[in-house]
């Protein structure tokens, strides 16, 4: 063999060795990226978000060339949107995914997220058209993708959110017909049930929702369907043969604690019950046992933020547990910010900001998560507020005993007067929406329920000498099945009604 052939042979061997080494390294990278991705997903599922994001971000940054990078970026975007409610961060992740990984298996769902983001930005015809176009791209570009039924579902949700109920129903039913085994079909059927309730067709809604229980037995969505049908049965079928609500015999909290100045009851996604009072917020687990507390001096209201933290209002500030107080102020004609003095009500929105009632000026303002003034929401007083799934806001005016309903931008849609057909509000003190859009009003010794078009639907009261009677109720909350958790000043604890 001459020298040249020998050198060529040696070169081929070296190239082959390098190729094998590179292939082995790529295989190792792929395997490690897969394990780190799975670790991140597991952390997210267990609500250990910081650790989950650390793993997912490592996949994106260190293993960008692997098949797991686009999946990790999609998981990050979904967390940013659904948990963190940070539309700006979500948009950046979606843009990067569609730019760097446009033809991967994560791209179709990225288009779905892009559609959802359009609706978060606004509800104008242009926003709706942008959202619908994103969903249409999924079907056109990725017709065999698992994201197709998801796009169909969110197209229906977009139409539902802008009150195009008939069109929304058509979209939902198309998903259930074409993809009956998909989890998105179950979600579509539940949303179809919501639409039918809003059309004052509760019997048809029950049938639509019952399909989910039959097709997806022993799943979380079947449990959700049971909760929704329980609400419909209670409000539209149970009466007049039986009372709308009865005392369950269960109570939360110890009456010996003697809670003072109770101003709120909140139930979170884990089944915990939170009670706001003069000394802060007491927390109870789903069995009703004490599970912690957030101390505060005479707070006026509280809510749970995107991170499931308790945020209390005291004076003119919003305070997170073990975090710095955010002092709020509004512009004044003199050019100097006017500090808020009293916050009777506050709640978070899907856009990551907060609606805050200014007790002195009798207005509601919008502030960012870091406490900066973002604009006037409504020139209306609000002693309590509640938000439904469409992001309509009910604002209780305790002085006039009336309730204004405004859309997510503060435009007043309707008003519930102190008196109407079949009802009278004598001393309303609290508000809450259920997952089907019914508005519940706590009126000291009774609860009134209003349905579509503010139509009075039902009432609940317990005779004074009966077990579970409430005559001086101060605050209440609802669980996913529509059970009432009412704090009564005489009972000195939260009583449960079903």
pLDDT for res 361: 95
Common-topology check for domains 163-237 and 248-497: no
DSSP letter (8 states) at residue 305? -
State percent of the chain over pLDDT 90: 87
CA 255, 257, 263, 268 torsion-angle sign: negative
- Residue 403, burial from CB neighbour count under 10 angstroms (0-12, 13-18, 19+): buried
pLDDT for res 324: 82
What average pLDDT score do residues 405-431 get?
A: 97
**Is residue 3 very low, low, confident or very high in pLDDT (cuts 50, 70, 90)?**
low
Per-residue exposure over 322-350, b if at least 16 CB sit within 10 Å of its own CB, e if not: eeeebebbbeeeeeeebebeebbbbbbbb
Tell me if residue 436 falls in helix, strand or coil: coil
Tell me if residue 368 falls in helix, strand or coil: coil
Per-domain residue ranges of the chain: 30-159, 163-237, 248-497
State percent of the chain over pLDDT 70: 95
256 pLDDT above the threshold of 90: no
What average pLDDT score do residues 176-181 get?
A: 97
What average pLDDT score do residues 27-46 get?
A: 91
pLDDT for res 350: 86
Residue 177's CB is within 10 A of a number of other CB atoms, namely 10
**Is residue 261 very low, low, confident or very high in pLDDT (cuts 50, 70, 90)?**
very high
Size of the chain in residues: 498
What Cα–Cα distance (Å) separates residue 186 from each residue in 12, 77, 110? 58, 23, 21
| 32 Cα distance to chain centroid | 34
| 400 Cα distance to chain centroid | 30
Summarize pLDDT for 215-230 with one digit per residue, the tens: 999 999 999 999 999 9
pLDDT for res 84: 86
User: Are 440 and 434 spatial neighbours (Cβ–Cβ below 8 Å)?
Assistant: yes
Query: Which CATH architecture is the domain 163-237 placed in?
Result: Alpha Horseshoe (1.25)
Q: What are phi and psi of 375, to 5 degrees?
A: 140, 170
For 30-159, CATH gives 1.25.40.10
Mean pLDDT is lowest, of 150-154, 287-291, 354-358, for: 287-291
Q: Helices 107-121 and 69-82 meet at what angle, rounded to 10?
A: 20
Average pLDDT, the chain: 93
Higher pLDDT, 350 or 461: 461
What average pLDDT score do residues 343-357 get?
A: 94
1 pLDDT above the threshold of 60: no
Residue 436's CB is within 10 A of a number of other CB atoms, namely 25
| 182 Cα distance to chain centroid | 22
pLDDT for res 340: 96
What average pLDDT score do residues 18-47 get?
A: 81
CA pair distance 192, 353, nearest whole angstrom: 29
Summarize pLDDT for 327-349 with one digit per residue, the tens: 999 998 887 899 999 999 999 99
What average pLDDT score do residues 8-26 get?
A: 56
For 248-497, the fitting CATH number among 2.130.10.10, 3.40.1260.10, 3.30.499.10, 2.120.10.30 is 2.120.10.30
Summarize pLDDT for 111-157 with one digit per residue, the tens: 999 999 999 999 999 999 999 999 999 999 999 999 999 999 999 99
Tell me if residue 309 falls in helix, strand or coil: coil
22 pLDDT above the threshold of 60: no
What average pLDDT score do residues 196-217 get?
A: 97
User: Are 208 and 461 spatial neighbours (Cβ–Cβ below 8 Å)?
Assistant: no
pLDDT for res 47: 87
**Is residue 89 very low, low, confident or very high in pLDDT (cuts 50, 70, 90)?**
very high
pTM given for the model:
0.90
pLDDT for res 319: 95
Question: Hey, what long-range contacts does 371-380 have (CB within 8 A, 24 or more apart)?
Answer: 371/318, 371/326, 371/327, 371/328, 373/328, 373/329, 373/330, 373/331, 373/337, 376/410, 377/406, 377/410, 378/404, 378/406, 378/410, 378/412, 380/404, 380/406, 380/412
11 pLDDT above the threshold of 70: no
User: Are 434 and 478 spatial neighbours (Cβ–Cβ below 8 Å)?
Assistant: yes
15 pLDDT above the threshold of 60: no
């Amino acid at each position: 063999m001459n020298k040249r052939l020998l050198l060529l042979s040696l070169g081929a061997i070296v190239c082959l060795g390098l190729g094998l080494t590179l292939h082995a390294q790529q295989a190792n990278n792929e395997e490690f990226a897969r394990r780190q991705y799975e670790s991140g997903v597991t952390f997210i599922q267990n609500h250990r978000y910081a650790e989950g994001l650390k793993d997912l971000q490592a996949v994106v940054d260190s293993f960008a060339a692997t098949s797991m990078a686009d999946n990790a970026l999609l998981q990050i975007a979904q967390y940013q949107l659904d948990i963190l409610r940070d539309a700006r961060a979500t948009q950046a992740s979606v843009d990067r995914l569609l730019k760097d990984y446009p033809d991967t298996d994560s791209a179709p769902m990225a288009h779905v997220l892009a559609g959802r983001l359009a609706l978060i930005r606004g509800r104008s015809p242009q926003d709706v058209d942008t959202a619908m176009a994103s969903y249409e791209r999924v079907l056109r570009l990725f017709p065999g993708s698992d994201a197709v039924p998801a796009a169909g579902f969110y197209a229906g949700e977009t139409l539902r959110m802008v009150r195009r109920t008939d069109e929304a129903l058509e979209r939902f039913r198309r998903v259930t017909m074409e993809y009956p085994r998909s989890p998105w079909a179950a979600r579509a059927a539940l949303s179809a049930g919501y639409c039918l309730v809003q059309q004052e067709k509760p019997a048809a809604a029950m049938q639509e929702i019952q399909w989910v229980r039959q097709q997806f037995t022993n799943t979380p969505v079947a449990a959700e369907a049971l909760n929704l049908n329980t609400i419909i049965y209670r409000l539209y079928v149970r009466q007049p043969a039986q009372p709308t609500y009865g005392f369950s015999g269960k109570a939360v909290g110890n009456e010996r604690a003697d809670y003072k100045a109770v101003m709120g009851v909140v139930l979170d996604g884990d089944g915990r019950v939170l009670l706001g009072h003069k000394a802060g917020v007491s927390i109870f687990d789903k069995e009703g046992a004490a599970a912690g507390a957030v101390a505060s001096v005479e707070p006026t209201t509280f809510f749970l933020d995107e991170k499931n933290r308790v945020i209390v209002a005291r004076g003119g500030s919003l305070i997170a547990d073990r975090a710095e107080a955010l002092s709020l102020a509004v512009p004044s004609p003199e050019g100097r910010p006017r500090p808020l003095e009293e916050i009777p009500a506050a709640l978070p929105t899907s856009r990551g900001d907060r609606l805050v009632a200014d007790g002195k000026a009798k207005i509601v303002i919008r502030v960012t998560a870091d406490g900066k003034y973002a604009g006037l929401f409504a020139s209306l007083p609000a002693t309590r507020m509640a938000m439904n799934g469409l992001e309509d806001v009910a604002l209780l005016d305790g002085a006039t005993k009336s309730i204004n309903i405004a859309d997510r931008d503060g435009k007043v849609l309707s008003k519930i007067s102190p008196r109407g057909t079949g009802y009278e509000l004598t001393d309303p003190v609290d508000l809450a929406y259920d997952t089907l859009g019914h508005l519940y009003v706590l009126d000291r010794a009774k609860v009134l329920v209003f349905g579509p078009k503010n139509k009075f639907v039902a009432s609940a009261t317990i005779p004074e000498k009966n077990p579970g009677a409430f005559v001086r109720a101060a605050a209440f909350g609802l669980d996913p099945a529509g059970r009432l958790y009412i704090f009564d000043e005489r009972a000195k604890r939260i009583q449960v009604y079903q």
